[in-house]
Amino acid sequence: MSNSIEIPKIDNIETIVEKIKSKELKVLDLVIEHLERAKLVQEKTNSFITILEDQALANAKELDLQIEKGEVDIESKPLLGIPFTAKDLYLVKDTKTTFGTKLMENFVAPYTSTVVQKCLDAGAILIAKANLDPFGYGSSGESSGYGPTKNPYDLERVPGGSSSGSGASIAAGVGLFSLGTDTGGSVRLPASFCGVYALKPTYGHNSRYGVGVYASSFDTPGFFSRHPEDIKLLEDVMKGRDENDATTYEIDHLEIKNNKTIGLPREFFTEDLNPEIKDKINQKVELLKSNGYEIKEISIPSLKYALAAYYVLVMAETSSNRARYDAVRYGEKISDDYEENMSGGRAQFFEDEVKRRIMVGTYVLSAGYGDQYYQKASIVRTKLKKEFDEAFKEVDVIISPIANETAFKIEEKSSDPVSMYLTDIYTVTANVVGIPALAIPAGMSLEGLPIGMQLIGKKFHEDQLVDVAKVVR
Ligand code: GLN
């Protein structure tokens, strides 16, 4: 068995939609092709928890029929016939949704999340639910209750997490885009390790309604694709005010000044940065310079506290969000005895990482410790927001690494949670501050593994990140 799988070239979404509109391509043929690939990729990478074959085939046939009869307004469907996958945190009505944990193995969602619904309304066809670290807890995909996902570039390595199946499968050519979520880097890290694009939008741009919660003030529905122009197309479909999520905004007229100043935070580009990664990022920076961008070194002094503050705040939020997964309201029932059921259900079905986070979160919030941990971390969050506001007075976009390494070996870090958490050092800040960040491929390592970098922007300036990405592709 070869140790990697083929990374196929894939057209961008608009090109494929045009072929469907002109009837050069049938939706059913496209969906069959992607389902077949999904099955092959599943065998080698374990990217999926459920492949929705029957449902996808039926929807594709129905859509072809509607197109044939002229019953569908094709101009209002920017994702007409496009097969996609979604991390198994997204609720889809009448479909199994596990959140990556064994506790929810038999949960069937009663309604569909807003973001998935918007994709379906735009004409897309859901073909699979992707593997993930339970509730989004992880950086490698290894904590999933459904087995680790493998990186298509090297099947002995992780694809990055927590949206592990989304990252691995989009690289391996399954679907034209994949929905993931990003609480502290979970679309950007897999994008970096698998050589694809992924957007973590501004907090509040995309609705969290119907998306399994990790940490409410950090969670951001994001997504993966193969081309920067797809990113813009998809974000335009997904974003916007949702009456079911009070933290969403509708931004109608945003004046984006087309300034071309890029900031490199001194705190990120240190001696400790892996030289190969630094080198690839520098090459992109040089490319930007030759395209008229001005590059400035900036300083964001509180960056050094971001990771610590992040892990205190998300653990606190998540321990309270997990309270209802008690094997009574949600989760597998194991006993008719109330107390035995409540403690035993979680003991038996929750993965170790889920238990760890509930315990740490409960600890940092417990009487006497709130001031020491939660309060302090909240102060860091406020400081970081101010420092980024200041930085964005000087520059339009900030460039940063995504990780200080390429995809690591399966089991290399899984027994050492702190080293796993350290993987997120460059990604968590965008979530702490609530600003958008786009992961883009920066090149390949000597070992043949993808290297990514991220473009971080002002609130609601996702389009500006895409513009920069197009310059350096
Ligand atoms: N790896 C980070 C964590 O475990 C981020 C996860 C995420 O973005 N869902 O918290």
Q: Is position 366 annotated as part of the catalytic site?
A: no
Mean pLDDT of 145-150: 98
Q: Is any atom of ligand 1 closer than 6 Å to the C-beta of 142?
A: no
pLDDT digits (tens, 9 = 90+) for 152-170: 999 999 999 999 999 999 9
Q: Who wins on pLDDT, 5 or 327?
A: 5
- pLDDT tens sequence across 183-217: 999 999 999 999 999 999 999 999 999 999 999 99
Largest CA distance in the chain: 70
Atom of ligand 1 minimally distant from the CA of 310: 10
- Predicted local distance difference test score (pLDDT) of residue 2: 72
Q: What integer best gives the mean pLDDT of the chain?
A: 96
The reported pLDDT for the residue numbered 258 is: 67
Range of lowest pLDDT (253-257, 421-425, 441-445): 253-257
Over residues 409-419, the pLDDT tens digits come to: 999 999 999 99
**pLDDT at site 371:** 85
- Summarised one tens digit per residue, pLDDT across range 70-92 is 999 999 999 999 999 999 999 99
For residue 343, is pLDDT > 60? yes
Amino acid in the structure at residue 180: G
Pick from 99, 214, 351, 423 the residue to mutate for probing ligand 1's pocket: most ligand atoms within 8 Å of its CB: 214
Closest CA to 224 of 149, 167, 152: 167
Query: Which atom of ligand 1 approaches the CA of 424 most closely?
Result: 1
- Is the bond into 414 cis (omega within 30 degrees of 0)? no
Average of per-residue pLDDT across 262-267: 98
Residue 327: which pLDDT band, with cuts at 50, 70 and 90?
confident
Q: Is the CB of 149 under 6 A from ligand 1?
A: no
310 lines ligand 1 (CB under 6 A): no
Please tell me the distance between residue 22's alpha carbon and the centre of ligand 1 in angstroms: 42
Residue 314 beta carbon below 6 angstroms from any ligand 1 atom: yes
pLDDT at site 368? 87
- Ligand 1 center from residue 403 Cα (angstroms): 13
Give residue 204's domain range: 1-473
- Would you say the CB of residue 214 lies under 6 angstroms from ligand 1? yes
Residue 87 annotated in active site: yes
pLDDT confidence bin for 329, thresholds 50/70/90: confident
Count the domains in the chain: 1
186 counts as catalytic? yes
144, 162, 225, 319: the active-site residue: 162
User: Once rounded to an integer, what is the mean pLDDT over residues 217-229?
Assistant: 98
- CA angle 58-63-67, nearest 5°? 155
Using pLDDT thresholds of 50, 70 and 90, give the confidence band for residue 95: very high
182 lines ligand 1 (CB under 6 A): yes
- Rounded Cα distance, 449 and 441, in Å: 11
Residue 324 belongs to domain with CATH number: 3.90.1300.10
Give the pairing of strands 220-225 and 261-265.
Answer: unpaired
Do 187 and 181 touch, CB atoms closer than 8 A?
yes
Instruction: Answer whether residue 65 shows pLDDT above 60.
Output: yes
Q: Tell me what pLDDT residue 23 has.
A: 96
| Alpha-helical runs (H) found in 291-367 | 303-321, 338-349, 352-365
How remote is the CA of residue 453 from the centroid of ligand 1, in Å? 17
At residue 333, does pLDDT exceed 90?
no
pLDDT of 353: 97
Rounded to 5°, the CA angle 135-39-113 comes to 35
Amino acid at 341: N
Mean pLDDT of 277-294: 98
Query: How far is the C-alpha of 84 from the C-alpha of 72, rounded, in Å?
Result: 20
pLDDT for 370: 82
Q: Which of 221, 149, 162, 156 is nearest to 189 (CA)?
A: 162
186, 317, 318, 426: which to mutate for ligand 1, most atoms within 8 A of CB? 186
Which one, of 195, 190, 203, 215, lies nearest residue 139 by Cα?
A: 190
* Average pLDDT of span 174-191: 98
Checking if the pLDDT of 1 tops 70, the result is: no
Query: Residue 183: CB within 6 Å of ligand 1?
Result: yes
Cα atoms in the 13 Å half-sphere on the side-chain side of 466 = 21
- Tell me the pLDDT band of 55, cut-offs 50, 70 and 90: very high
149 confidence band (pLDDT: 50, 70, 90): very high
For 392-407, what is the mean pLDDT?
97
Which of the 8 DSSP states describes residue 96?
Answer: B
- For ligand 1, say whether the CB of 312 is within 6 Å of any of its atoms: no
Residues 284-311: what's their mean pLDDT?
98
Query: What does the radius of gyration of the chain's CA atoms come to, in whole angstroms?
Result: 21
Q: In this structure, which residue's CA is closest to atom 2 in ligand 1?
A: 184
Kindly indicate the confidence band of residue 255, based on its pLDDT and cuts at 50, 70 and 90. Answer: confident
Report how far residue 177's alpha carbon sits from residue 185's, in angstroms, rounded to the nearest whole number.
Answer: 18
Nearest atom in ligand 1 to 314's CA: 10
Provide mean pLDDT across the span 253-260.
76
Atom of ligand 1 nearest to the CA of 187: 8
Catalytic one of 140, 169, 186, 225: 186
Residue 251 confidence (pLDDT): 84
Report, as an integer, the average pLDDT of 447-454: 98
Q: What are the start-end ranges of the E strands in 226-299?
A: 261-265, 294-298
Cα(428) to ligand 1 centroid in Å equals: 8
Q: Which atom of ligand 1 is nearest to the CA of 189?
A: 1
Distance 186 CA to ligand 1 centre (A): 5
- Three-state DSSP class for 291? coil
pLDDT band with cut points at 50, 70 and 90 for residue 360: very high
Please say whether the beta carbons of 337 and 327 come within 8 A: no
pLDDT at position 118 over 80: yes
CA of 133 to the centre of ligand 1 (A): 9
